[in-house]
Amino acid sequence: MTPKKGVFIFGQLIALREDKNYKMNPNADGNFNFPREHDYFTGANSFSAAAATVNKYNEVYSELTGKKVEWSFGEEQLGVSPETGEWPNAFYARQMKGVHFFDVKDTSTGNSGEVASHEVGHAVLDAIRPNYLEGTGTETGAFHEAFGDVLAMLMTLGNDKAIDKIVEQTGGGDISSKPSALSDMGEGFGKALGMGDRGIR
């Protein structure tokens, strides 16, 4: 975990600084399982979602690409900054060596496993195809977004509880027929942005 705080001028993020005040301790059982309302939930959720996504890629999807993750920024581990400030956004940045999540209204982008997996998707694609991040064409940017979305969807489809919810929401038939946890990505973030119960995608 590499907690940082955003520095904003006139609502624009201009820099990130190390957050030396951020601490996260295990619960009484010695683990990091916290209820959603707990102060440590965002940190635990964003870190575990990021780690699960990297592990899933290395264990399963690297066979398809022929490459395991070696971060393009030269470090052993991807940084995760769970509460970087207040801004309706989340992002991966190679030069900042990690993924960064922000608070927005009564939630955080780090509370969504799908948003975390999407941002880690950018980091994974940057690791296996670093030139894509440097591309200036709209197609490479669109491919980066699609890669993040697909990785987030694959993580959702690998979760038994999410599958049960999708079956309940769609009636078990055509999953494209109704909105569901699969079709709506980042519902909590979407709600905070005034999009109702729908996700940001």
- DSSP secondary structure letters along 100-152: EE-EETTEEGGG-HHHHHHHHHHHHHHHH-HHHHH--SHHHHHHHHHHHHHHH
Closest CA to 193 of 184, 82, 18: 184
pTM here is 0.85
Where do the domains of the chain lie?
A: 4-192
Does the domain at residues 4-192 carry the CATH identifier 3.10.170? yes
User: Which residue from 103, 97, 102 is spatially nearest to 122, judged by alpha carbons?
Assistant: 97
Average pLDDT of span 170-184: 79
Task: Give me the pLDDT at residue 194, please.
Answer: 63
- Which pLDDT band holds residue 60 (cuts at 50, 70, 90)? very high
Looking only at the bridges linking them, the beta strands covering 4-9 and 12-18 are: antiparallel
- pLDDT average, residue stretch 52-57: 96
Secondary structure tally for the chain: helices H, strands E:
7, 7
Report the alpha-carbon distance of residue 4 to residue 40 in Å, rounded: 15
Are 29 and 103 in contact, with CB atoms under 8 Å apart? no
